[in-house]
């Protein structure tokens, strides 16, 4: 059963970023299946830990590409990433002290945030980077 389906409108046109975004989809689906099946908390915690590591690594990769391209809204984009990481960490910390694992509602909220982030901020950033990388059509004087 799939919770989140990758659709072409999420593609930003940078193969490595698109592949990493598809990795998010796979991890979120894996977490959904584990929650739906009532897997043991240790199993769910392991998937969440992988999701946390993947998130940090992916966001760092994106931010490095933006930095190298001179993306002018990098600080704002970093803040969006920081917010998501904090929310993920907070949801995880809350559930470490509870008898129930991460909820499907929390998973749904995180998935919605990710979809909107890719469609909005990521698309904007990588369109800007693609335009900035194109050589100018105006010859130098």
Split into its structural domains, the chain has a count of 1
Q: How does pLDDT run across 67-115, given as a tens digit for each residue?
A: 999 999 999 999 999 999 998 888 777 555 554 557 888 889 889 999 9
Nearest by Cα to 121 from 61, 78, 69: 78
- Domain span at 107: 14-130
Alpha helices in the chain (DSSP H): 15-36, 41-69, 74-96, 104-117, 123-133
Whether residue 2 lies inside any domain: the answer is no
d(CA 23, CA 122): 16
CATH, residue 124:
1.20.120.50
Minimum mean pLDDT range among 12-16, 60-64, 102-106: 102-106
Neighbour count for residue 110 (Cβ, 10 Å): 20
Whether residue 58 lies inside any domain: the answer is yes
Tell me what the mean pLDDT of segment 31-57 comes to.
Answer: 91
What pLDDT is attached to residue 96?
A: 56
Q: pTM value?
A: 0.86
Cβ-in-10-Å burial (0-12, 13-18, 19+) of 108 comes to middle
What pLDDT is attached to residue 134?
A: 75
């Amino acid at each position: 059963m799939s919770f989140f389906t990758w659709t072409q409108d999420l593609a930003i046109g940078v193969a490595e970023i698109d592949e990493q975004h598809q990795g998010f989809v796979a991890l979120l689906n894996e977490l959904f299946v584990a929650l739906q099946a009532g897997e043991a908390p240790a199993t769910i915690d392991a998937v969440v830990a992988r999701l946390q590591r993947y998130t940090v690594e992916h966001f760092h990769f994106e931010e490095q590409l933006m930095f190298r391209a001179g993306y002018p809204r990098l600080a704002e984009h970093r803040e969006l990433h920081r917010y998501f990481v904090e929310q993920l960490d907070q949801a995880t910390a809350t559930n470490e002290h509870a008898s129930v694992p991460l909820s499907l509602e929390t998973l749904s909220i995180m998935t919605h945030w990710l979809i909107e982030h890719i469609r909005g901020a990521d698309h904007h950033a990588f369109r800007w980077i693609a335009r900035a990388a194109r050589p100018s059509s105006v010859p130098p004087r």
